[in-house]
Amino acid sequence: MTTPHRDLIGKHALVTGGAKRVGRAVALRLAQAGLDVAITYQHSKDEADLVTKEIRAMGRKAFAIQADFAQVDAARHVADKVLDAFGNLYALVNNASCFSPTPIGKVTPDDFEKNMAVNARSPMLLLQALAPALSSHDTPGRVVNFVDIHVMGQPLVGYLAYNMSKAALHELTMTAAMELAPKITVNAIAPGVVAWADAYSEQDRKDYMRRVPLARPGTPEDAATAVLFLVQDADYCTGQILRLDGGRLWT
């Protein structure tokens, strides 16, 4: 059970894609730790309303913003809403992501542009718009990006546009960490599996599990624990990519 941390109570976080799966677990965990939390959703309004209701029941502030990050003005709109409501921001978690196959030979310009817009451009524009607020604290503000182990030297075959967009997010993490220090820390989490994608068959799941030394898939709660570490405890950590893959690095 996460207990509120005195340094986080009264601070504010934004979790993109916070209605379901990993984003939901992250939003709830940050709220348990004391933060007020804004989330974004694209289609999952009912689930988003449930998350904000659960957070408010903890005594924190919470609200949800509809946004399609494929649209160029979405990040600015979200940043404005967050600053209007909270007046400030301590932690930005870029979790929202699109993920669908784009095998070479079938990648359209629209596929490429959508992956880049949702997975790289919007995190960059959010970070840029929110950097002044994230910089205005006694301790460094926090940015946590969700990349993927598949941009750490093991590309996911058949997902070229996704891989390229997450590689761009990886580079955003490294560049922003240098440029925004010492006012903001910028780190990323690179999950293996922390919530199965529907596209994975039972056989795919068994094959994957044979390569995981810790012998279980990760969970959204594992991802939330890693985010909380980076937000709450990792004062002297920036430009790091935290692999969250059950030890798959060596297999």
Does residue number 241 form part of the binding site for ligand NAP (CB under 6 A)? no
The angle formed by the CA atoms of residues 229, 233 and 238, to the nearest 5 degrees, is 85
Identified binder of ligand NAP from the candidate list 11, 14, 30, 42, rule CB under 6 A: 42
Of 13, 17, 62, 143, the one binding ligand NAP (CB under 6 A) is 17
Q: Is residue 162 flagged as an active site residue?
A: yes
Nearer to ligand NAP, 64 or 180 (CB): 64
Cis peptide leading into residue 182 (ω within 30°) = yes
Per-residue burial over 226-249, b if 16 or more Cβ lie within 10 Å, else e, is bbbebbbebeeebebbbbbbbebe
Question: CB 52 → ligand NAP: shortest distance, Å?
Answer: 13
Does position 159 interact with ligand NAP (CB under 6 A)? The reply is no
Identify any residues that bridge with 93 across adjacent strands, giving them in sequence order.
15, 144
Among positions 162-191, residues that touch ligand NAP (CB under 6 A) are: 191
> Residue 92, interface with ligand NAP (CB under 6 A)?
no
At closest approach, how far in Å is the CB of 25 from ligand NAP?
8
Catalytic residue among 41, 90, 159, 162: 162
Distances (CA, A) of 42 to 65, 70, 193: 8, 10, 22
User: Whole-angstrom Cα distance, residue 164 to residue 181?
Assistant: 26
Q: Does the protein bind ligand NAP through residue 69 (CB under 6 A)?
A: yes
Bridge partners of residue 39, in order along the sequence: 15, 64
Shortest distance (Å) from residue 167 CB to ligand NAP = 12
**In contact, 145 and 83? CB cutoff 8 Å:** no
- Closer CB to ligand NAP, residue 50 or residue 137? 50
The single residue among 50, 83, 85, 98 that binds ligand NAP, judged by CB under 6 A, is 98
Three-state SS at 97: coil
Question: Distance between CA atoms of 177 and 160, rounded to whole angstroms?
Answer: 26
Site of interaction with ligand NAP (CB under 6 A) = 17, 19-23, 41-44, 67-70, 95-99, 118, 146, 148, 191, 193-195
Catalytic residues: 162
